[in-house]
Chain A
Amino acid sequence: EDQVTQSPEALRLQEGESSSLNCSYTVSGLRGLFWYRQDPGKGPEFLFTLYSAGEEKEKERLKATLTKKESFLHITAPKPEDSATYLCAVQASAAGNKLTFGGGTRVLVKP
């Protein structure tokens, strides 16, 4: 069974304090790993797709990396507007178009 575990569950940061979120996964053949941002009461917003170990993607203060067992979302010098829940999801080779989501990490950036 495909599994995705995100840690920590919650993260409180001071503005400018860089940190990393972890997404550990177990899948039978990874097709892709996805990062989404979700604001309270809204639908997830797509951030990145990573396909193979060693791949990295960047967008503003966010950088996602991928190894064979986990992915990291690095937040560099965060601002209060980076406060959100960050969701990780994987797509397995045998799962068709289905995604398996982790529980998310709630990030609060204080000014």
Chain B
Amino acid sequence: DGGITQSPKYLFRKEGQNVTLSCEQNLNHDAMYWYRQDPGQGLRLIYYSQIVNDFQKGDIAEGYSVSREKKESFPLTVTSAQKNPTAFYLCASSDPRTSGNLYEQYFGPGTRLTVT
């Protein structure tokens, strides 16, 4: 089955520790995105990548880092510099050549990160 996988579903960390969230897709999509969702709020863009070895900051990139070494993978590291890391993190991907819709984004199941 084609899709986006995120692991783990739940993640717990102590304050001051860096943590990496995994995002893998087998949809052959060029573009990938990371969003953060806080309770009762919409999604906010952290980072996005339109092609391998390239990525851009979104609206709330401070305290986060990413890499895009492979087309299928776009891991997100939440660093100790992120002041409020506890949130629901969503990964998405898109590709006009395969989706038939220029900007439609497909989302993974999400990772809920709790930092105490």
Cβ-defined contact, B103 with A32, below 8 A: yes
Q: Which of B48-100 contact A (CB under 8 A)?
A: 48, 50, 58, 88, 90, 92, 94
Q: Which of A85-107 contact B (CB under 8 A)?
A: 87, 89, 91, 96-99, 101-104
Given contacts A44-B90, A103-B42, contact A97 B103 (CB under 8 A): yes
> Least Cβ distance of B96 to chain A in Å?
9
Find chain A residues with CB under 8 A from B34 CB. Answer: none
Find chain B residues with CB under 8 A from A41 CB. Answer: 88, 110, 112
Cβ-defined contact, B42 with A34, below 8 A: no
A103: nearest chain-B partner, CB-CB: B42
Number of residues from B at the complex interface, CB < 8 A: 28
Number of residues from A at the complex interface, CB < 8 A: 25
Judged by a CB distance under 8 angstroms, whether B105 is at the interface is: yes
A44: nearest chain-B partner, CB-CB: B107
Find chain B residues with CB under 8 A from A96 CB. Answer: 50
Cβ-defined contact, A34 with B104, below 8 A: yes
Judged by a CB distance under 8 angstroms, whether B17 is at the interface is: no
Given contacts A42-B110, A98-B58, contact A34 B40 (CB under 8 A): no
Cβ-defined contact, A99 with B105, below 8 A: yes
Cβ-defined contact, A102 with B109, below 8 A: no
Q: Which of B40, B43, B58, B109 contacts A87 (CB 8 A)?
A: B43
Find chain B residues with CB under 8 A from A42 CB. Answer: 109-110
B interface vs A, CB < 8 Å?
4, 31, 33, 35, 40-45, 48, 50, 58, 88, 90, 92, 94, 101-110, 112
7 A-B pairs besides A9-B40, A43-B107, A91-B103 with CB distance below 8 A are A4-B42, A96-B50, A97-B103, A98-B45, A99-B43, A103-B40, A104-B42
A interface vs B, CB < 8 Å?
4, 6, 9, 31-32, 34, 36, 41-46, 49, 87, 89, 91, 96-99, 101-104
